[in-house]
Amino acid sequence: MGFFEPAARLNLIPPYLFKEIDLKKELIRAKGVDIIDLGVGDPDLPTPKFIVDTMQKAVEDPKTHRYPLYSGLSRFREAVARWYKRRFDVDLDPESEVLTLIGCKEGIAHLPLGVNNPEDINLVTTPAYPVYRMGSLFAGAVCFMMPLVAENDFLPNLNDIPPIEARDAKMFFFNYPNNPTGATADLDFFRRVADFCREYNIIAVHDACYSEMAFDGYRPSSFLEVPGAKEIGIEFHSLSKTYSMTGWRLGMAVGNREVLAALGKIKSNIDSGAFDAIQLAGIAALDSDQASVREYCAIYQERRDTIVSGLQKLGYQVTPPKATFYVWLPVPQGFTSMSFAAHVLEQAGIVVVPGFGFGEPGEGYVRLALTVPKERLEEALARLAKI
Ligand X SMILES: *Cc1c(COP(=O)(O)O)cnc(C)c1O
Binding site for ligand X (CB under 6 A): 41, 103-105, 129, 175, 179, 207, 209, 238, 240-241, 246, 251
Amino acid at 37: D
User: Looking at beta carbons only, is 96 or 246 nearer to ligand X?
Assistant: 246
**Would you give the end-to-end CA distance of the chain in angstroms?**
47
φ/ψ (deg, to 5) at 233:
-150, 170
User: Looking at beta carbons only, is 90 or 213 nearer to ligand X?
Assistant: 213
Bridge partners (DSSP) listed for residue 37? 351
Contacts of 277 (CB under 8 A, 6+ apart): 55, 58, 59, 61, 64
C-beta of 245: minimal distance to ligand X in Å?
8
Contacts of 295 (CB under 8 A, 6+ apart): none
C-beta of 237: minimal distance to ligand X in Å?
8
User: Looking at beta carbons only, is 174 or 340 nearer to ligand X?
Assistant: 174
User: Looking at beta carbons only, is 323 or 350 nearer to ligand X?
Assistant: 323
How many angstroms separate the CA atoms of 301 and 293, rounded? 12
Q: Taking a C-beta distance cutoff of 8 angstroms, is the pair 244, 112 a contact? A: no
C-beta of 79: minimal distance to ligand X in Å?
16
- Going 54 to 56 to 59 to 62, the CA torsion angle's sign is negative
C-beta of 153: minimal distance to ligand X in Å?
18
User: Looking at beta carbons only, is 206 or 381 nearer to ligand X?
Assistant: 206
C-beta of 28: minimal distance to ligand X in Å?
26
User: Looking at beta carbons only, is 156 or 349 nearer to ligand X?
Assistant: 156
Bridge partners (DSSP) listed for residue 204? 172, 233
As a whole number of Å, the CA-based R_g of the chain is 21
Q: How far out from the chain centre does Cα 43 lie?
A: 13
C-beta of 358: minimal distance to ligand X in Å?
10
Strands 121-126 and 203-207 come out as: unpaired
